[in-house]
Structure 1
Amino acid sequence: MQPVSLRSPSRWTPESLRALVEPDRVHRDLYVDPDLFELERERLFAGAWQFAAHASQLPQPGDYVTLELAGRSLLLLRQADGSIRGFHNRCAHKGARLLGQPSGSTGRFLRCPYHAWSYKLDGSPLARPLQAGYEGARLGECESGRGLQELEGLRVYRDFVFVRLLAGGPDFESWFGEGLRAIDDMVDRSPAGQLRVEGGILRSEIRCNWKTYLENVNDTVHPVSTHESAVRAARTVWQGHGESAPQPMAVEQILPFGAGYDFYDAMGARVHPHGHSVLGIHFSIHSGYGMSEDYRAALEAAHGPERARQVLEHAPQNAVLYPGLALKSSPQVMRVIRPLAVDRTLVEAWVLRAVGAPDLLYERGLSYTRLVFSPMSVVAHDDIELFEGIQRALHADGNPWISLHRDSRGDDAGLLGQPINATNELLMRNQHRAWLEAMLGDAP
């Protein structure tokens, strides 16, 4: 499939792209140049494997989910045989959008609202008005006569649906590699080995570049200063209670943000090829959440004692599947980062219910999403104010470089897959190397 458009200026040659990403810093053009953003959509976001939906959103044949990805309107559709297929959400006749709602059921076939061309669930043509008018015409030799255009790549991994818009590049397993273990850690918190999307999806549009938000997912230095007021408020509410007193869920989730630099540094991290990473390989602010013995026994019965122990003891701060997915196996939430423009980013917060697990796990996810990811929360409004301020300030004259120097000593390549300290900005440098890799493609 050829890209829909490519409006990048000629100045973005392989040489000029390489000049933007140095071993320990990146140029501000990555965050503010609109033409570079258009090039990102065609080379990075259309060529990478990206999360699109969860299979639990499409339980029955004919159920669908629509989304916008890299400037394309897409449609995921449950088939009669139970499989999921993906199509471009446009009629083969004149390009009208077939389905306009975020999700729903189309029944046993699809019908265009413009001229009533209809299609089977597999995208093949079903019927057209005035069929006799096409006799002797070349429609059968044209793409329009073949039905809906199917996506180049679609993979369902443990009910997580990923798509790739362009052919070529690494296959699914090669792209994600060890990053897929983050999904395993989420799914295996269910004794049934199954997750469901529940509670809706919290969507926030932020006036900043998507890289600013994604870098912050791996930034363990900012909570000490950025979220000081939120932690102070939680401490004020809870003051006077003994250390052994059971904490309300909100207090349990906010107070750990106030841990010091030593705590965050010692939680550890790993980076993997293609920009993926795990933050909090030893412990995290989520490690103190209590679990019942009945739940532990249910996991042991389902997965075996050793796997149950691994699942319960491993609670990373964040696992990033580059370029747009951030997972928290505890408290079973994830964020999907969808770039809209060079200075606008849509962030989706999803809550996943672990089937067969206590309701407490699901309630934690709902509470954490409200407290931390809602733009009106006591945490996110601090971040958003800073993100949008960064976007404005980067246009100012002066130093054009973004510093990523912390713990940069020329040994980054040898640290792939190895434990590192969690305040190491290799977590961000690794994302930018993946960015450059995707942007260069096959360039010499």
Structure 2
Amino acid sequence: MYREQPERIRALVQEDRVHRDLYLSQELFELEQEHFFANTWTYLGHASQVPNAGDYLTQDIAGRPLMMVRQADGGIRVMFNRCAHKGSQLVSDSCGNTGKFFRCPYHAWSYKLDGSPLAVPIKAGYEGTRLKECESGQGLSAVPGVAVYRDFVFVRLSSQGRSFEDYFGEALQSIDNLVDRSPVGKLTLAGGAMRNIIHCNWKMYLENINDTVHPLSTHESATRAANALWADKAPDAPKPMAMEQILPFGAGYEFFDNMGGRVLPHGHSVLGTRFSIHSSYARLGDYEDAMRAAHGEEKATQILTRSPQNSVLFPSLSVKGSPQAIRVIRPLAANRTLVEAWAFRAEGAPELLFERALSYNRLVFSPMSVVAHDDVHLFESMQKGLKAEGNEWISLHRDHRPGPDGAGELAPQDVNGTSELLMRNQFRAWADFMTLRMGATA
């Protein structure tokens, strides 16, 4: 139906609406695995997850098994987790240390940490053969595109496409803000991942990250309960961390609209450019002094006062500078998505910053939390509801304006915090990268 039909795929994304097949079609999902995720830069992992030589991290991206490996010289290399001989995965654990080389568990072919051939059993049996001239004799295959930006590791599966810097552009400032909150510019993933498999399409979860209209209704019961507990307290009373983090979810439409957003090319965005639900966290004097000593008064103030609600590095990563947390979106099927929530420990910063990140992840992203439970229920309800007859389209009309917002790639621009242009931008990027090299007219 859609294979090698780029025009038909593009027609699913219109100026002010998208077709339900973007969420429901398993065929489109399989084409995403083949085309879309080959053309975009996807977050793989963080360098702190492989601190020592021989450390590895495995991850499937778009159905391809990959492994990120710390090299003896301190560099990072990303290769396909596939023996060049028969195709067995070299490592089956999610992480570990392979020592000074990889050894295939099937026939004991071995490779250096950089993937180059090291040894094969019964070596004499290959003399006079074409092994050295073919792919199997070259060692492990490297992922075509790899970029390490301030210890964040991204991959592009295609050998062609936009460079890392061109693809992300201004969006990388969100990573800068996250890392610069460490006075020495060093972050470490800590506390493990909070993982949640949701029975919905990955794009549904991703667009919700930019949806500021839903908290007032979706999370009404959680914020009502929090407000009831805090009702008799003085306005300036110090708040427990959980209250500090949950109460802003009940802010009105005007608050969310006025927080502002910024639309960036290629699906990226920043939500909460003026302020956000994270802007009112208690200040930490000693930490702010350390930041001023490290960065100077002006830059330290700029870093600490910039607290976007969410920054999306399309299509796989959502960043929160304060609290220091990220979400990673891992598509599994048309109706199944794995969401990982990670917390960072900032070197040179008080432990309270790390505790905030852990607390926020538990409070908001845990499938057992009062916030995520609401979202998950509605995502799965939407995935089912879209099968209903009579209307095959999803509305994205809010704040749609003919003209510059009509078609084509958008230049960076500021919008109000409830604008659905933030979401329309994601779907435009999806259509562009999905059809980039598909068919003769792509």
The one-letter code sitting in structure 1 at the alignment partner of 2:253 is Y
How is 1:15-34 mapped onto 2 (pairs within 5 angstroms)? 15-34=7-26
Partner of 2:405: 412
CA distance in structure 1 between the partners assigned to 2:275 and 2:164 by the alignment: 29
The one-letter code sitting in structure 2 at the alignment partner of 1:109 is F
CA distance in structure 2 between the partners assigned to 1:165 and 1:120 by the alignment: 22
The one-letter code sitting in structure 2 at the alignment partner of 1:427 is L
The one-letter code sitting in structure 1 at the alignment partner of 2:176 is D
Q: Secondary structure of the equivalent of 1:242? A: coil
CA distance in structure 1 between the partners assigned to 2:320 and 2:302 by the alignment: 15
Deviations 1:371-426, CA, capped at 9 Å, x for gaps: 00000001000000000011111111110000000000113269732221010100
Q: Give yes or no for the alignment of 1:61 onto 2:56.
A: no
Q: Is the 8 A contact 1:64 1:106 kept in 2?
A: yes
Q: Secondary structure of the equivalent of 2:137? A: helix
Runs of at least 4 residues off by over 3 Å: 9-12, 413-416
Partner of 1:434: 429
Q: Is the 8 A contact 1:153 1:166 kept in 2?
A: yes
- The CA deviation at 1:238 is 2.3
Q: Give yes or no for the alignment of 1:161 onto 2:153.
A: yes
The one-letter code sitting in structure 2 at the alignment partner of 1:184 is D
Partner of 2:197: 205
Q: Is the 8 A contact 1:111 1:117 kept in 2?
A: yes
How is 1:266-277 mapped onto 2 (pairs within 5 angstroms)? 266-277=258-269
CA shift in 2, pair 1:368/1:173, >3 Å: same
Deviations 1:258-304, CA, capped at 9 Å, x for gaps: 00000000000000100000000000000001222211111111111
Partner of 2:350: 358
Q: Is the 8 A contact 2:410 2:425 kept in 1?
A: no
CA distance in structure 2 between the partners assigned to 1:242 and 1:150 by the alignment: 59
Q: Give yes or no for the alignment of 1:421 onto 2:413.
A: no
* Identity of matched residues, %: 62
How is 1:113-132 mapped onto 2 (pairs within 5 angstroms)? 113-132=105-124
CA distance in structure 1 between the partners assigned to 2:419 and 2:159 by the alignment: 35
Partner of 2:209: 217
CA distance in structure 2 between the partners assigned to 1:409 and 1:109 by the alignment: 57
How is 1:2-401 mapped onto 2 (pairs within 5 angstroms)? 9=1, 13-401=5-393
CA distance in structure 2 between the partners assigned to 1:150 and 1:47 by the alignment: 16
TM-score (norm 2): 0.97
Q: Secondary structure of the equivalent of 1:116? A: coil
- The CA deviation at 1:127 is 1.1
Q: Is the 8 A contact 1:212 1:387 kept in 2?
A: yes
Q: Is the 8 A contact 1:270 1:416 kept in 2?
A: no
Q: Secondary structure of the equivalent of 2:413? A: coil
CA distance in structure 2 between the partners assigned to 1:60 and 1:391 by the alignment: 43
- The CA deviation at 1:10 is 5.3
Q: Secondary structure of the equivalent of 1:402? A: strand
CA distance in structure 2 between the partners assigned to 1:55 and 1:14 by the alignment: 37
The one-letter code sitting in structure 2 at the alignment partner of 1:412 is D
Q: Secondary structure of the equivalent of 1:162? A: strand
- The CA deviation at 1:241 is 2.1
The one-letter code sitting in structure 2 at the alignment partner of 1:137 is T
- The CA deviation at 1:47 is 1.7
- Unpaired stretches in structure 1, ≥5 consecutive residues: 1-8
Deviations 1:144-184, CA, capped at 9 Å, x for gaps: 11110011011110010111111111100000000000000
Q: Secondary structure of the equivalent of 1:198? A: strand
Q: Is the 8 A contact 2:36 2:435 kept in 1?
A: no
TM-score (norm 1): 0.96
CA distance in structure 2 between the partners assigned to 1:130 and 1:44 by the alignment: 42
Partner of 1:3: none
CA distance in structure 2 between the partners assigned to 1:52 and 1:15 by the alignment: 31
Q: Secondary structure of the equivalent of 2:343? A: strand
Deviations 1:105-133, CA, capped at 9 Å, x for gaps: 11100011111111101101111111111
CA distance in structure 1 between the partners assigned to 2:226 and 2:191 by the alignment: 25
Q: How many residues align?
A: 436
